[in-house]
Structure 1
Amino acid sequence: MTGALALTVFVVAFFFIATEKVNKVKVVLVAAGLMAVLGLIPGAQVFFSEHEGIDWNVIFLLFGMMIIVGIIKQTGVFDFLAIWAAKKSQGRPYRLMVMLMAITAIASPFLDNVTTIMLVAPVTVMVCDRLHIPAQPYLIAEVLASNIGGAATLIGDPPNIIIGSRAGLTFNDFLAHMAPVVVIVFLVFLLLTRVLFRKSFVYNPDRVAEVMALQERRAITDPRLLVRCLVVLGLVVIGFGLHAVVHVEPSIVALVGAGVMMLVARADTGETLREVEWPTLVFFMGLFVMVAGLVNTGVIATAGEWVISAVGDNYFGAATSLLFGSAVLGAFFDNIPYVATVAPIVEGLVAQAPDPATGQAIWWAFALGADFGGNGTAVAASANVVALGIAARSGHRISFWEFTRYGLIVTALTSVLAWVYVWLRYFL
């Protein structure tokens, strides 16, 4: 009875999250409250158990990185990079798209996708307006590139943070196993965009001169602060990489880095905290409580037992099902709640694996499917929604289906490439 009740609360909440009929933060707060009032969560343990409650490693990792990015944003370095790319492209539309995608894809593994899009998209709109070319294809391509590039590291995409925390995978693990396939997929994606957006590549020579007149160095508002920030960011990334050696959680590294960044930047505490995406953090916390209700009432365990019995000893079949299943479900539902819900089931499946290597292969298939599925539709990932909002406010509205018709093609291709990679590397 309690399991059915918890599942009902979760499914109804998931529906509203996926359809965006109600603000998702409001939805998870109401759903989490219902889980507590109805006695479906494990009491106070929901605040202390990462497997049956709020995973504070995820929350504080995001919090620390939001502070770091918020301070770096003040230096104008992202504006500099975008204007530099526009000038280097000499106004050539496809060349400009490639450079903007490359900047986005390189930044995404080290910054969360939402932040990357929020920083790059406004400048993209500005450059496209100056060139008198439609901004929609560039914004869509950047979001797709962001979701692909973010899959490369532990901190690049929120689903990876959840998977890394649940599976005990380090920053270096993600680099070693996810980065190679991400590089291959991104290179293929660069070629694909030439075909997907071919009708949008219109060269306007009369407007190129305006772009060439922009002074990118003027975008850097505080060069000394930029140097200090880049040093701190570099040390934070090194700290992530040394996780397996020093055994300090990435969340602690991010928090220390945020504190040091505020000190070296002499940042105002109030202004800095206003840069934090509090709704995102609250959404995560509420989501973890919702999942705790499913775990506490045995729904996850029942589903996990069914999956384990259905798979049997066919672990390549399990990896294939997880990869393509996650890509499909992640395309139509926000991949963050999807991963948070399915991760406990995958953990149970991995526990039955004959050796650690096979178990890790299951996790990588799960991560690739969930990450690349985030490109499937306009609501599949938070970065997608943010980009559509920026486009609408700037007068370059992108409809749900305009994004989705490109996203589904990219998701299908990248998922197949990821499946081939998993097969060749782990099961051949």
Structure 2
Amino acid sequence: MSPEEAIALAVFLGVYAFIITERIHRTVAAMVGASLILIVGIIPWEKVPEYLDLETLLLLAGMMVIVNVSRESGLFEYIAIKTAKLSNGNPMKVLLLFSVVTAVVSAFLDNVTTVLLLTPMLLYITKRMDVNPIPFLLAEIFASNIGGTATLIGDPPNIMIGSAAGLSFNEFLENMGPIAVANIFLTIAVVYLAYRNSIKVTPSKRKEIERVILSMDEEDAIRDWELFRKSVIVILAIGAGFFLHDTIGVKPAVIALFGASVMLLWSGVSPERALEKVEWATLFFFGGLFLIVGALVETGVIDAVAGKIMELIHSEAQAIFVISWFSAVSSAIVDNIPLTATMIPLIKAMGSSVNTYPLWWALSLGACLGGNGTAIGASANVVVLGIAHREGIKITFGEFLKVGALIMVSTVALGSLMLWVRYGL
């Protein structure tokens, strides 16, 4: 191993260790690691744009601005109350509808934003219904991670994969959409079976719940009607742009930035106020990580690892199962963003031996769904459990694991089977 390879690998392992142990903030770890890589000169300065994935960074930034402006109107609380009213006082329908709405919203917003918007409303509704909130909170967590698999912009790993492999918004919908739909209903069934006694209520109790829910007025959630209408129009236009980006020849990142610009211009919201809520720490974390993994590519470490893996894998079918399950188990333990950043160049290096197209979907499947396995497997999990804890609702690591591990295994098994039927036979 050359000195450059040794340094690149040491920096990567050191940063990964800090990310896992959380001894220092992950953004700080990534920035320090990237700085060392550049100081030593492992990545020449002129090659930095090659490894710094601007498409991913700009797409994330644009969507963050759109969400930050839209949430001020009360749009997402409005959706939550409308969803509750459709249940007609039936807790099982609340579980079903909130899971579906969470999955759909997570397909277009990042998971953390989705649960931050919907969890307080879900807790309010379950409190008014006087039912155990735990199955509803768990279903929301699982649905947010599953919904994120369906689209190019649903979860950061998908944005990274789409940018690296040149995959379109519609390709994600075509390949991952059916898997997400099948998995959301499988998840609802598992949660219902695990907590069926907590969800059932008597007919008289159901009527009381229905009265409580119908007393809520979704229009009271709207804090700014003008901004509400503008937010709906811009979000729908952005969605249409993502669907048509292949046809019109415009990158998703450009569509997101244009949507953010229109939102700021049309809404009149102060750019300082909108931009101060952008998750800059997340963006710098991505940037640092891209350079750290880029050093492994630049020095040839990734090519060497890919060669070893290909000695064990002899078909696309094998590769689909290995990548999906390895990614899922790893994502249940460590952050799926550095995992994805590491796997992308690995899959690219495997391109000389197998068709990598189905492997991108296997990586998306495992990286996004593995987070359901443990309480710390995804950021959305930590956020929801934190909000619940502040409200006096304790969900232990063990209780989460009992249901989460079953959800992870069943959804990854179903998803990898669907990929195998489509690409491996």
TM range (shorter): over 0.9
CA 8–398 in structure 1, closer or farther in 2 if over 3 Å, else same: farther
Cα pair 1:391 1:397 within 8 Å, conserved = yes
CA 222–399 in structure 1, closer or farther in 2 if over 3 Å, else same: same
**Residue identity opposite 1:140 in structure 2:** L
> CA offset at residue 232 of structure 1?
1.3
Counterpart position of 2:326: 325
In terms of mean alpha carbon deviation, does 290-299 or 131-140 score higher? 131-140
CA 249–216 in structure 1, closer or farther in 2 if over 3 Å, else same: same
> CA offset at residue 164 of structure 1?
0.6
CA 22–198 in structure 1, closer or farther in 2 if over 3 Å, else same: farther
Q: For 1:12-411, what aligned pairs fall within 5 Å after superposition?
A: 12-40=14-42, 42-45=43-46, 47-49=48-50, 53-201=51-199, 203=201, 209-312=211-314, 314-353=315-354, 358-411=355-408
Cα pair 1:66 1:276 within 8 Å, conserved = yes
Separation in structure 2 between the aligned mates of residue 143 and residue 47 of structure 1, nearest angstrom:
36
Cα distance per residue 1:240-268 (max 9 Å; x no partner):
12222222111111000000011121111
Cα distance per residue 1:130-181 (max 9 Å; x no partner):
3333433322211110111111110001111111111110111111111112
Cα distance per residue 1:36-57 (max 9 Å; x no partner):
33443x13245311xxx22111
> CA offset at residue 280 of structure 1?
1.4
Cα pair 2:157 2:337 within 8 Å, conserved = yes
**Residue identity opposite 1:366 in structure 2:** L
State how many pairs are aligned: 419
**Residue identity opposite 1:341 in structure 2:** T
SS at match of 1:245: helix
In terms of mean alpha carbon deviation, does 335-344 or 187-196 score higher? 187-196
Cα pair 1:350 1:362 within 8 Å, conserved = no
**Residue identity opposite 2:367 in structure 1:** A
Separation in structure 2 between the aligned mates of residue 271 and residue 148 of structure 1, nearest angstrom:
31
Counterpart position of 2:418: 421
Separation in structure 1 between the aligned mates of residue 394 and residue 7 of structure 2, nearest angstrom:
40
> CA offset at residue 209 of structure 1?
4.0
Separation in structure 2 between the aligned mates of residue 326 and residue 241 of structure 1, nearest angstrom:
28
Separation in structure 2 between the aligned mates of residue 405 and residue 20 of structure 1, nearest angstrom:
25
**Residue identity opposite 2:96 in structure 1:** V
**Residue identity opposite 1:76 in structure 2:** G
CA 128–427 in structure 1, closer or farther in 2 if over 3 Å, else same: same
**Residue identity opposite 1:401 in structure 2:** G
Cα pair 1:13 1:31 within 8 Å, conserved = yes
Separation in structure 1 between the aligned mates of residue 418 and residue 194 of structure 2, nearest angstrom:
24
Cα distance per residue 1:295-352 (max 9 Å; x no partner):
222221211122223324x221111111111111121111111011011011121343
Separation in structure 1 between the aligned mates of residue 130 and residue 166 of structure 2, nearest angstrom:
49
Separation in structure 1 between the aligned mates of residue 230 and residue 186 of structure 2, nearest angstrom:
36
What's the RMSD between the two structures over aligned residues? Answer: 1.9
Separation in structure 2 between the aligned mates of residue 392 and residue 330 of structure 1, nearest angstrom:
24
Percent identity of equivalent pairs: 39
Separation in structure 2 between the aligned mates of residue 315 and residue 252 of structure 1, nearest angstrom:
34
**Residue identity opposite 1:340 in structure 2:** A
CA 282–133 in structure 1, closer or farther in 2 if over 3 Å, else same: farther
> CA offset at residue 208 of structure 1?
5.6
Separation in structure 1 between the aligned mates of residue 31 and residue 143 of structure 2, nearest angstrom:
31
Separation in structure 2 between the aligned mates of residue 130 and residue 23 of structure 1, nearest angstrom:
38
Separation in structure 2 between the aligned mates of residue 3 and residue 386 of structure 1, nearest angstrom:
37
**Residue identity opposite 1:388 in structure 2:** L
Separation in structure 2 between the aligned mates of residue 212 and residue 288 of structure 1, nearest angstrom:
49
Separation in structure 2 between the aligned mates of residue 415 and residue 65 of structure 1, nearest angstrom:
28
Gaps of 5+ in 2: none
Separation in structure 1 between the aligned mates of residue 358 and residue 24 of structure 2, nearest angstrom:
37
Cα pair 1:134 1:396 within 8 Å, conserved = no
**Residue identity opposite 2:293 in structure 1:** V
Separation in structure 2 between the aligned mates of residue 192 and residue 101 of structure 1, nearest angstrom:
13
Gaps of 5+ in 1: none
> CA offset at residue 216 of structure 1?
1.4
Cα pair 1:46 1:292 within 8 Å, conserved = no
Cα pair 1:377 1:408 within 8 Å, conserved = yes
Cα pair 1:157 1:371 within 8 Å, conserved = yes
Separation in structure 1 between the aligned mates of residue 113 and residue 7 of structure 2, nearest angstrom:
36
Cα pair 1:16 1:22 within 8 Å, conserved = yes
Separation in structure 1 between the aligned mates of residue 73 and residue 341 of structure 2, nearest angstrom:
35
